[in-house]
Amino acid sequence: SEQYGGDNCEIDCGEHGEIGSSNGCVCESCFAGERCDIPRECGAHGRCLIGVCVCEAARYGGSQCEVDCGPHGLSVHTYSGGACVCQSARYGGERCEIDCGQHGTIDEDRRCVCDSERYGGERCETDLCDRLDCGAHGSCGEMGKCVCDTTGYGGEHCEICPSVLAQLEEDLPGMSVGQ
């Protein structure tokens, strides 16, 4: 293989090319240009290998590693370019940028759905029990509401003592006082 060609060796194909049959340069697969001196562009997250961009991590994709699926996504190649597949149901969005936290999953409308009524907030980040005072006779349950212990206390915050609760139930038959 020859790097120089032409009648007076005036064609220089550089270190990444050789003279072809028509006295033009034939470049290595990762180089282009008249002198084979232009490397194939693979963006900031890839490098050319045998004429194809190989991305440095699974989160990058596309023909030039230009698609970044973020730390929670994996890039997959499609006919129209790169697309992202999120690593778990807690992540969503085009680039897996929506994080529903440890207590939620993403729905088809790209909104977080909390896995129990105990959690709320846009990203299921709020434990409703953190703000709930169930007193000495109750604890916060899965629904984010007080569950009174077995000592007979009742009420929304387990604040009604057993004797008052019994009187209320006697005075208001059929009414639930929240136990």
Rounded-to-integer distance, Cα 176 and Cα 53, Å: 68
Q: pTM of the entire structure?
A: 0.60
pLDDT of residue 171: 67
pLDDT of residue 4: 66
* Helix and strand numbers, DSSP H then E, in the chain: 1, 20
Residues of the chain with pLDDT under 70: 1, 3-8, 78-81, 171-179
What pLDDT does residue 14 have? Answer: 86
pLDDT of amino acid 81: 66
d(C-alpha 57, C-alpha 52), whole Å: 15
Pairing of strands 91-92, 98-99: antiparallel
